[in-house]
Amino acid sequence: MTASKIVALVGRPNVGKSALFNRFLGRRLAIVDEMPGVTRDRLYAPVEWAGRRFTIVDTGGIETTSGLDLMAQTRAQAELAIREADVVVFVVDAQDGVTGADEDVAALLRPSRDKVLIVANKVESPNTAGAIYEFCSLGFGVPMSVSAIHGLQSGDLLDAIIEKLGPEPPTDELEDASLVRLAIVGQPNVGKSSLVNALVGEPRAVVASEPGTTRDATDTEIEAEGRRFIIIDTAGIRKTAKTGPPIDYYSSLRAVAAIGRSDVALLIVDATAGATSQDRRIAGLAIEEGKALAILVNKWDLVDTKTFERAEVEAALRAEFPFAAYAPILFGSALTKKGVHKILGAMAAVADERRKHVQTAKLNQVIRDAFRTHPPPSFRGKVMKCYYVTQGGIAPPEFVFFVNDPRLVHFSYERFLENTLRGAFGFSGTPIQLTFKPRVQQDRTQAGDLILAETARGDDA
């Protein structure tokens, strides 16, 4: 687990916790809306201030009077964040003054009084500045006054947080190269949050029967299979999110951004509904971002296996995702946890494939044999000739082909070369990128001459 210090933002709904969170980050990561209760799950993000790094946690508003099960779960999420936190920033609304809900939250925080820093938000006029002293009745001293929207006093608040955190912890730990960032993606209500809870082994994400319960992308770090994983539970990406309510649109943007900061995207498909065009779109987003991709058929416990066999379902999915034939397909149930134990090991293997590097000599040998046994087609009397191949990068793997004329590369032959590389070196679950560049005279090495001799006939075109 990370040794980073944790700072949790807590308070009743709609006091500006998410706005303050975004102010600290300098970008709009948490969803901010006038509707109370928009933030439901904990939202983590790293912050750096005055040379000090810590993790800020945005939480759902704590409501103690609601009997709704969803509100009870949100409160439980906030309580868990309070227990984990090194510093708790208790946010109140200076414009509203002390409310009964503030007093309820204060009662919840008093056992952790030593690590609480009370902050009065929305202090934007002399009248509200003078009203902050009534919050002293909550028992946490005089609150700091800030305006999250306008950024007033936000630097002073960060200084106070750093002071509250105490001395810098030791920084002997090196970044673990085996860390896997896994984004759980899919449409709403396919079981993403249930899967996160099953993988983590505790109720980390809010789960409810209504679609769209998860609205922010939330990070959870665990250790399993001898590896470190950061599991990113994302909001469901709706097909009509842009034309629907603002909350759904913002949530979809967060899910897309979460894919961008992951290593592997695990696409959850509902076994009872099958794959849809939106599932294909989500898979395409992951591939466009250069992320590894795997598909999990969830709710497999609800399928009559006498009627639908795994092989048939897998073949149908391959037909739905012809552009991702390399993606492994898993079957499981987040509810019963059947098959869940295989997921993290499979994701680690896929992440390793995305970082794989191939020896240059062996790479050129494979491509030489491919050109010899299956020469490229001619185009307007000209034939593409390859002189040398090298791997230009990893995550995802990129291969650079030095050829006589990149315009002669037909898409079908490019696909053949990709399949050749996969057949020789694997790359299961990860996209690979092929780049074709014109040969420069100094790039014509001995290995390049070897490919030229074996694959080209006649003069250079």
pLDDT class for 441, splitting at 50, 70, 90? low
Distance of CA 129 to the CA centre of its chain: 40
Same domain? For 398 and 417 the reply is yes
| Token output for 41 | 């799950």
Provide mean pLDDT across the span 426-438. 95
Give the CATH number, domain containing residue 446.
Answer: 3.30.300.20
Strand partners, 223: 228
Read off the pLDDT of residues 279-333 as tens digits, 9 standing for 90 and up: 888 888 788 778 999 999 999 999 888 888 899 999 999 999 999 999 999 999 9
459 pLDDT more than 60: no
Let me know if residue 273 belongs to a domain: yes
Identify the pLDDT of residue 168. 73
Let me know if residue 263 belongs to a domain: yes
427 pLDDT more than 50: yes
The least confident of 159-163, 207-211, 382-386 is 207-211
Let me know if residue 171 belongs to a domain: no
Identify the pLDDT of residue 455. 46
Let me know if residue 174 belongs to a domain: no
* Average model confidence (pLDDT) across the chain: 79
CA distance 40 to 62: 10
21 pLDDT more than 90: no
Read off the pLDDT of residues 107-152 as tens digits, 9 standing for 90 and up: 888 988 999 999 999 998 877 788 899 999 999 999 999 998 888 8
Range of 71's domain? 6-165
Provide mean pLDDT across the span 176-183. 82
Same domain? For 53 and 144 the reply is yes
pLDDT class for 177, splitting at 50, 70, 90? low
pLDDT class for 424, splitting at 50, 70, 90? very high
Provide mean pLDDT across the span 181-209. 76
Let me know if residue 1 belongs to a domain: no
The least confident of 80-89, 189-198, 323-332 is 80-89
Identify the pLDDT of residue 397. 95
Three-class HEC string of 97-108 = CCCHHHHHHHHH
Give the CATH number, domain containing residue 308.
Answer: 3.40.50.300
| Token output for 47 | 């912050």
> What single string gives the DSSP state of each residue in 68-100?
-HHHHHHHHHHHHHHHH-SEEEEEEETTT-S-H
Q: Compute how many other C-beta atoms are within 10 angstroms of the C-beta atom of residue 400.
A: 16
91 pLDDT more than 80: yes
Let me know if residue 216 belongs to a domain: yes
443 pLDDT more than 80: no
As a dihedral over the C-alpha atoms of residue 283, residue 288, residue 294, residue 296, rounded to 10 degrees, the angle is: -20
Same domain? For 239 and 344 the reply is yes
DSSP 155: H
> What single string gives the DSSP state of each residue in 96-151?
T-S-HHHHHHHHHHGGGGGGEEEEEE---SHHHHHGGGGGGGGSS-SPEE-BTTTT
Let me know if residue 461 belongs to a domain: no
Q: Which of these, 94, 35, 27, lies nearest to 61 by C-alpha position? A: 35
Q: pLDDT over 90 for what percent of the chain?
A: 44
Let me know if residue 266 belongs to a domain: yes
Same domain? For 57 and 109 the reply is yes
Same domain? For 222 and 255 the reply is yes
CA distance 343 to 296: 9
Same domain? For 49 and 109 the reply is yes
The least confident of 13-17, 114-118, 172-176 is 172-176
Packing angle, helices 100-109 and 69-84, rounded to 10:
40
Same domain? For 330 and 438 the reply is no
Packing angle, helices 246-260 and 277-288, rounded to 10:
40
Provide mean pLDDT across the span 390-408. 94
Matching residue, tokens 């709403």: 188
pLDDT class for 343, splitting at 50, 70, 90? very high
The number of domains in the chain is 3
Identify the pLDDT of residue 81. 64
Same domain? For 58 and 157 the reply is yes
Query: Which of 300, 325, 353 represents a domain boundary (last residue)?
Result: 353
Same domain? For 152 and 190 the reply is no
Which amino acid, one-letter code, is at 274? G
Identify the pLDDT of residue 285. 78
Identify the pLDDT of residue 336. 92
Q: Tell which phi-psi region holds residue 330, choosing left (phi > 0), alpha (psi between -120 and 50) or beta.
A: beta
Same domain? For 332 and 193 the reply is yes
Same domain? For 311 and 414 the reply is no
Provide mean pLDDT across the span 398-424. 95
pLDDT class for 56, splitting at 50, 70, 90? confident
Q: Which of these, 431, 380, 385, lies nearest to 406 by C-alpha position? A: 385
2 pLDDT more than 70: no
- With 0.75 as the threshold, say if the pTM is over it: no
Query: Which of 303, 329, 353 represents a domain boundary (last residue)?
Result: 353
CA distance 79 to 59: 9
CA distance 230 to 44: 11
Identify the pLDDT of residue 45. 64
Same domain? For 186 and 225 the reply is yes
Identify the pLDDT of residue 138. 94
